Amino acid sequence: MTSKEEPVVVLVHGAFAESASWNGVIKHLHGHGRRAVAVANPLRSVEGDAAYLRDVIAGLGCPVVLVGHSYGGMVISQAAADNPAVRALVYVAAFAPDSGESALLLSAKFEGSTLGGALEAYPVSSGGNEFRIAEEKFHGQFCADLDADEAALMGATQRPVTERALTDGLTGRPAWRSLPSWFVYGERDLNIPAETVRFMADRAVSRGTRQVPGASHALAVSQPDAVCAVILDAVGHVNG
């Protein structure tokens, strides 16, 4: 691996989404001649999900720009720590936790999240509960800036997340303390309030922070061009 190799953009979805939620972003990246890989995030635990992501990165055998959406930000923050393959981080409406912080803790740091009232919980055989967004609430909660038909498809194909994943605190030093990071988020995000993202971006000394007017939590789907532009900024930094 050399520093002159073109980085691959590795995209990590969060809870209540799946890897195809990056399709629009990947299309834009391909249009700019960039290779991208969307990872199927297990959504079981921060440590386990991060270990799986590290395996995927190792399998690529080249430098990467790591992009996380929502809970995926928890995963990239841990997976990229002390990982020489990772050259930059991009947080897309995502959590950027410090050591010991969980997604649940950060989501309640500032007012504005209505996610709790939209969730359905049920027990799983591995222990604890799993959460999904009730399908009748999915459109308004997760992707209000998409049309109803697309929102219904996303609600039907959402990937549930375990209670453990949402309550796991980050272990060790977060990767954003040593790697350059970029942030992009929706003005009308009802899962992770804009104020929360701004706090995390400031704390991480973000190289670039962009708020997308009117965008929901699912801005990778509704505003793929805006998300792609921020990713390309990160790629340009790595290539520069």
Instruction: Give the Cα separation of 159 and 204 in Å (integer).
Output: 28
Cα Rg, the chain, nearest whole Å = 16
Instruction: Give the Cα separation of 27 and 14 in Å (integer).
Output: 19
Query: In whole numbers, what is the pLDDT of the chain averaged over residues?
Result: 96
Judge whether residue 240 has pLDDT over 80. Answer: no
Instruction: Give the Cα separation of 194 and 196 in Å (integer).
Output: 5
> Tokens standing for 215?
């965008």
Judge whether residue 200 has pLDDT over 80. Answer: yes
Instruction: Give the Cα separation of 186 and 126 in Å (integer).
Output: 34
Mean predicted confidence (pLDDT) in 39-68:
98
Judge whether residue 2 has pLDDT over 60. Answer: no
Judge whether residue 3 has pLDDT over 70. Answer: no
pTM: predicted TM-score of the whole model, two decimal places = 0.97
pLDDT digits (tens, 9 = 90+) for 129-187: 999 999 999 999 999 999 999 999 999 999 999 999 999 999 999 999 999 999 999 99
pLDDT at 92: 98
Instruction: Give the Cα separation of 220 and 8 in Å (integer).
Output: 18
Q: Nearest Cα to 181, choosing from 76, 83, 70, 105? A: 76
pLDDT digits (tens, 9 = 90+) for 81-122: 999 999 999 999 999 999 999 999 999 999 999 999 999 999
Instruction: Give the Cα separation of 11 and 14 in Å (integer).
Output: 10
**How buried is 126 (Cβ within 10 angstroms: 0-12 exposed, 13-18 middle, 19+ buried)?**
exposed
Instruction: Give the Cα separation of 232 and 21 in Å (integer).
Output: 18
Helix (H, G, I), strand (E, B) or coil at 182: strand
pLDDT at 4: 59
Mean predicted confidence (pLDDT) in 189-193:
97
pLDDT at 114: 97
CB–CB of 94/174 below 8 Å? no
Q: What is the torsional sign of CA 56, 8, 172, 98? A: negative
Residue 66's Cα: distance from chain center in Å? 10
Judge whether residue 207 has pLDDT over 60. Answer: yes
CB–CB of 13/158 below 8 Å? no
Name the phi and psi angles at 82, rounded to 5. Answer: 55, 30
Helix (H, G, I), strand (E, B) or coil at 37: strand
pLDDT at 84: 97
pLDDT, greater one: 232 or 126: 232
